[in-house]
């Protein structure tokens, strides 16, 4: 498995993150505020400039009311 954040698997995670945020009816700014982060945090994740770890993904999944496996399945 490639170690790049630009692997097809990671791109799928990013796509699902964007879709889940939009389905939750949240802007990047609103999502970031609820997570206690700056808007650039969400923006960089969605552009693939920032890799997230499982703890961050778990917090985002809870915010978007999705199970963790939605993003990685």
Residue 73: what pLDDT?
Answer: 76
Domain count of the fold of the chain: 1
Question: Which residue range forms the structural domain that includes residue 60?
Answer: 8-72
Report the pLDDT value the prediction gives residue 3, as an integer from 0 to 100: 55
Residue 26 counted as domain residue: yes
Of the candidates 20, 16, 40, 19, the one whose C-alpha atom is nearest the C-alpha of residue 28 is 40
- Let me know: does 60 contact 50? Beta carbons within 8 Å: no
Domain of residue 20, CATH code: 1.10.260.40
Q: What is the mean pLDDT of the chain?
A: 92
Return the percentage of the chain with pLDDT > 90, whole number. Answer: 84
pLDDT band at 13 (very low <50, low <70, confident <90, very high): very high
């Amino acid at each position: 498995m490639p170690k790049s954040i630009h692997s097809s698997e990671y791109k799928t995670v990013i796509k699902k993150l964007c879709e889940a945020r939009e389905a939750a009816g949240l802007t990047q700014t609103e999502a970031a505020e609820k997570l206690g982060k700056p808007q650039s945090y969400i923006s960089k994740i969605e552009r693939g400039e920032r890799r997230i770890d499982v703890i961050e993904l778990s917090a985002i999944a809870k915010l978007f009311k999705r199970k963790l496996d939605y993003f990685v399945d």
